[in-house]
A and B are shown apart, each in its own frame.
Chain A
């Protein structure tokens, strides 16, 4: 059932996960991911055709909060841990305009 986990696929998953990988990490992860995914396939032994999926155990439905304004973080608090800021803004590399 599962596709073969090769190094190209590991690099692809790394890109989807937004994690840069070294060649050595790709090699190690290829083996580890293949082992773990093979282990996961154990579940295919079970017949679950008529089983309702379970999302979590509390089984609460449609929890609504009162529509009452409450204090949030101040801009200073929200920005206090920012790696880079410009005034009251989080600073990032240019993401629009003349892209490569």
Chain B
């Protein structure tokens, strides 16, 4: 590989090992990534804010600790990027919203604190769809991020900045959040690995809330071993998040290289309909072959309530998508009521003497169209007379979707399915029609509704040279199974650590 800095090529765990062995200093690692950011950020626009001075200060402090003989921890000196909806006391926490453009958090999210305690260096805050509402990062209140594989295309979303930063080698690893696919779908679009943990596995404290019953924090990395490493660091009970589950965290990295004897892979019948891009379907069937060759059994399973229907006009629909958006929008309307222009956030410059007018004008000025749409739909579905028809109905369908998964996992250990119905689409292609954009999540949202762990890993490139991702889904708290099954695929297929041309130059 020509160009770039050879010392920071490869994975986060390799970089950590080289730093621990004294081959590279933390400062050199941070400097190298900051140089890569300087070079490619004008094209990719992955970051809302690069915290260069603070990153170098953190790196030098780590180097001093290492010189004093200290063990820096499992991520010692590894430069990471943090999605800008996770609170950090350094820099801003904007959620890519004009509402929070100048917001500085008085506290640090537990996920970020854990990464820092493990020795990671925070390089900066990455772009997202405003308040994590979107599937392309085009809903950012600032500017869209571009896919490092083809800058005319979207990186996916909402964690598009984090995925693009990892793919473009503008950080060694990143964290994102996933409410309906926001880690896995951009990971697929950018040719990297993204894991959404089981609901309750990682603390949501300091993750700016969107859909509280669905949100989870998770890693975006260049390979499955790094996903294992970061998941281990992020996971664990936190008294400050009452939905975080008190349960021991296995050493995911220690087991990730061990193949699963007698692995049973379930292919979800309903997901191989005409809604799926033909190239992606071929890659998925090839992946099933790869698992068979590696000694796994492949069985057909059914998730009837996650099925995708196509009407005569070719329009797609799914119970799971309807269920998800009803619940997510209802939760969003409640969560985003906090942006009142009083405690923090944007306040209109206009002098208004009525408090409701002040709220309404300030929110109108600072919130983007998609956020307004979701708040309003959520407000409507929760309003008197409609609660049963929408929210309560969706909560019941959610149970049916979860029951489907429980039944499927009686016959298999992991489900193998697409991450996204197509590879990365063009910027502007879907921005006019919110419903079409919602269908980008068609294969990922059921996993959030059921609270399961899911990982997207690269499974090949399309004829046009765009990454294709595949998704592995496990039962609750089966992160270890999902990671080991993912690593088995990497080993058997030889597909791992895809590097876009931009980062090779």
Contact = CB atoms under 8 A, between A and B. Distances in A.
Given A40-B322, A53-B392, A57-B199, A100 B354 contact: yes
Given A33-B377, A57-B402, A58-B243, A82 B396 contact: no
Contacts of B325: 36, 39-40
B400 A46 contact: yes
Nearest to A10: B376
Contact of B322 (A39, A57, A81, A82): A39
Given A29-B376, A32-B434, A42 B322 contact: yes
Interface string A20-57: 11000100010011011101101111101001111111
B319 A17 contact: no
Contact of B373 (A32, A44, A73, A78): A32
Contacts of A14: 360, 376
A39 B317 contact: yes
Contact of B345 (A2, A48, A83): A83
B356 interface: yes
A18 B343 contact: no
B131 interface: no
Contacts, number: 173
A8 to B, nearest CB: 13
B213 interface: yes
A89 B344 CA distance: 13
A39 B398 contact: no
Contacts of B213: 55-57
B373 A33 contact: yes
B364 to A, nearest CB: 4
A12 to B, nearest CB: 9
Given A57-B451, A92-B355, A40 B326 contact: yes
A68 to B, nearest CB: 10
A55 B395 contact: yes
A90 B373 contact: no
Contacts of A66: 239
B425 interface: no
Given A60-B245, A80-B106, A94-B353, A17 B400 contact: no
A40 to B, nearest CB: 5
Interface residues of A, number: 53
Interface string A64-91: 0110000001000110111110000010
Nearest to B245: A58
Contact of A93 (B102, B214, B355): B355
B360 A57 contact: no
A52 B342 contact: no
B492 to A, nearest CB: 31
Nearest to A58: B200
B333 interface: yes
Contact of B399 (A21, A54, A77, A95): A54
A15 B317 CA distance: 31
A33 B326 CA distance: 12
Q: Which of A10, A35, A43, A51 has the most CB of B within 10 A?
A: A43
Nearest to A95: B355
Contact of B375 (A17, A77, A84, A93): A17
A53 B364 contact: no
Contact of A40 (B107, B372, B390, B399): B390
Given A13-B376, A77-B106, A83-B341, A18 B360 contact: yes
A26 to B, nearest CB: 11
A97 to B, nearest CB: 11
B344 A81 contact: yes
A13 B342 contact: no
A95 B352 CA distance: 12
Given A55-B213, A77-B106, A84-B347, 12 more contacts: A2-B389, A13-B376, A13-B379, A14-B360, A19-B367, A19-B375, A25-B372, A44-B389, A48-B393, A51-B399, A57-B199, A58-B199
Interface of A: 1-2, 10, 13-21, 25, 29, 32-33, 35-37, 39-40, 42-46, 48, 51-58, 60, 63, 65-66, 73, 77-78, 80-84, 90, 92-95, 100
